[in-house]
Chains A and B, each alone.
Chain A
Amino acid sequence: MVKKTMLSSNAATYGMLLLWALIVLFPFYWLVTTSFKEIGDVFRGPKYLPWVDFTPTTKWWYRMWVVEGRMLFRPLVNSLVIATSSSLFAVTFGSMAAYALERFRFKFGPMKNRDIFLWIVSQRVMPPIIIALALFVMFHFAGLLDTQLALIFVYIAAHTPIAVWMMSNFISQLPISIEEAALVDGASRTQAFFRVVLPMIAPGIAATFLLCFIFAWNEFLFALMLTGGEAQTMPLLIAAQHFQRGPQWWDISVLALITIIPVVILVVSLQRYFVKGLIPIGK
């Protein structure tokens, strides 16, 4: 790249980037420090630096894990189970659909591949609230309210379109000749899919799983409307703190941080795959 395009110097560039970095990091910083503050320190006006403005304490963390562990346990497990299983299914169904759409010519009445693809992807356009109430009614009559299964089903339906979109990106870049070579080499179609295609799209699968997991892990509306005490997820637990006990920022911060950590770990370890998958297909 040629230097000196729009701005006069590298210093200005760094300056602006650091400014935004600060804007990004400060709320996180606040969250972290708040989880270590005494009640008094929180209510006596904003305190910025540990050991300078206030004395940090680990008691809230201790309490959350050890004392109130039971409160934490169920939502954590629920979130893990729901997010992981729904994402696995979403990625599987999505990859299969994307593969079929790339390798076979469908025709259902006037609908051809492109139309089917657009229909699937356009499900994301619909605001969830539109079907949330109807789902409430449906699950009520099915006796599935407040179960992990309900959310798993809903998330699969909500996130499979994302998976189809992303995997389509990946699969369309695979030269079909490699699969043909596998056929000529003696593989059946199934063998070709599992031994040749799948390894090639593995990065795409990782990225897609990550995205679906994040969406499911952080989701609030459906969880709020379709569950009660049994299938409570982490976001609900966080929200519940507020409404049940008043703004206990220290506890809430601890919970929020506990909720963030799995996601951050996943992202940092898989981040190179993440970027590749988001290149949009031209419409």
Chain B
Amino acid sequence: MESMIQTEKLSHIYSAGTPFEHGALIDVDFTAYRGEYLGIIGHTGSGKSTLIQHLNGLLKPTSGRVLVEGQDIWASKEATRAARFRVGLVFQYPEYQLFEETVYKDIAFGPKNMGLDETEIDHRVREAAAFVGLSDAMLDQSPFELSGGQKRRVAIAGVIAMEPAALILDEPTAGLDPVGVEQILGNIRDYHKAKNATILIVSHSMEEMARTVDRLVVINDGRIPFQGTPREVFAHGEELEAMGLGVPQVTRVFQRLRAMGADVDPTVYTIPQAKEALLAALGRGPRKASPRLCGERKKESADMEFSAPWTENGIEQTSSDEKGAV
């Protein structure tokens, strides 16, 4: 696979030479491939925000290199500036950076800075607005009149309008209601598909990650302890928990079931996979687990199909029941 963004022995030290000095990143080797949908997880202060700000040249490494499409972005001033446009970065709560009189002008800010001509800017603004589902009527409104979710989509459109080959989003769904979350994730997926763009998404929600990404990178204390497919990463359940992270709730249930002696696959991380794993386990006849428990699981799994995958109260309920039963 062709690498889109790559870091080599990237280190960053904050407030060097003061009592507040601390290393935010230590010798990080990280690669994002072209067209990949990548998730970055790490608890607050793990260095993930520092990492993503290096990827488009907002922060300068204390040591090490950052390569975008094979080019060292600190080789020259032009290379740094080019990296800004090749790698789009959407910060956390991006709605607070809106400043223009109209939505249209705000989305056009990025393309204008790129020095594009009027027709191209107009084309890009309209295309970006379409990606995030903003109507033409909204383009002439003031961004400050919109709702929170709409504002955030305007801010994301402002970055998409630069047509970056890689789009990085820091907690794009933080503080949104479930409908807003789905809309934003849908918009990002659309952009990913339409432009074959590399997507890097930072999130705290393991459920959300499990559903969307191809590959996961875990950051802890400025280092990358492990990365891989969600299945590989979530197999490190206990280590993740020790880092203040976790695994999707459904994975936790299955790992616990496994620990209790049920013959189920402990690496499932989505509801459909859980259903398959359960049916497979049941199809092979009764196991060590009590029949009553199996019956309950079946009923629960049928219910789960209709509940939204991110609200898994049903599963929580079952797992505490099981503890009682044992």
Real binding pair: no
Chain A residues within 8 Å of B, Cβ to Cβ: none
